Amino acid sequence: MRQALVLARRFLDNDAMARAWGPLLFAALAAAVIGGSGYQETPAAGPPAAEWQSLFDGKSLRGWRETPFTGRGEVRVKDGTIILGKGFMTGITWTNSFPRSNYEIRFEAARLEGSDFFAGITFPVNDSHCSWINGGWGGRLVGLSSLDTYDASENETATLMDFEKGRWYSFWLLVTTDRIQAWIDEQPVIDVYIGNREISLRPGEIELSKPLGIASYSTTAALRKLEYRLLAPPAGAAKRQ
């Protein structure tokens, strides 16, 4: 259900005519999808999602700092991209305020060298934090660390995906008060209800990425097109029948 609504929102966001008709189209789709699903949800009230806000100016690390990981590689900006040099773990951490729920974040990343995670994003979830690991544990693992103290290799969000070196992949993350969803190249890879789950970070230096950070592990990575936007808080929490 939520996947269909998010895809509709993407369509409305990218098409001028659709934006003009957005409220009516989205309301109709929501009514049709929710009415036929196993969910009951109070219709959302309030303003639509905010505009996308850039997190990277393409020229500098303004708004970011190098994450002080032990044995980190060099971080630099080159040709409109952020390069995370190969080290034990290398990353950047956001230095400004960031929402704790009801937001979306998207970016593109490429693995340039190495064979471990190249797009590990740590993000706020209500009163805690979580990491979305991409290309970990030997290069293919995708998943969240951690759910109920189980890391990305141990919980139900774990999946395997081949990542080609030098290829750009698009990553899209949606966080609400009770759900985490994620897509890679428009394909859904994570959709987990978190209303009754313990959300935490894997023990270790990844804590230095809070509140928002992107890191690579023993891998050279490139990042670009980092953006986020706020979502209107839901008027009611979804419940499974």
Domains and CATH numbers, the chain: 2-39 (no CATH), 53-230 (2.60.120.560)
Span 187-238, pLDDT tens digits: 999 999 999 999 999 999 999 999 999 999 999 999 999 999 999 876 544 3
Query: Whose CA is closest to 124, among 107, 140, 103?
Result: 103
DSSP secondary structure, 8-76, as one string: HHHHHHH-HHHHHHHHHHHHHHHHHHHHTSSEE-PPP-S--PPPPEES--SSS-TTEEE---TT---EE
In whole angstroms, give the CA distance from residue 145 to residue 73.
Answer: 23
Position 231, amino acid: L
Q: pLDDT at position 201, please?
A: 98
Report field, pTM of the whole predicted structure over 0.85: no
Q: pLDDT at position 233, please?
A: 72
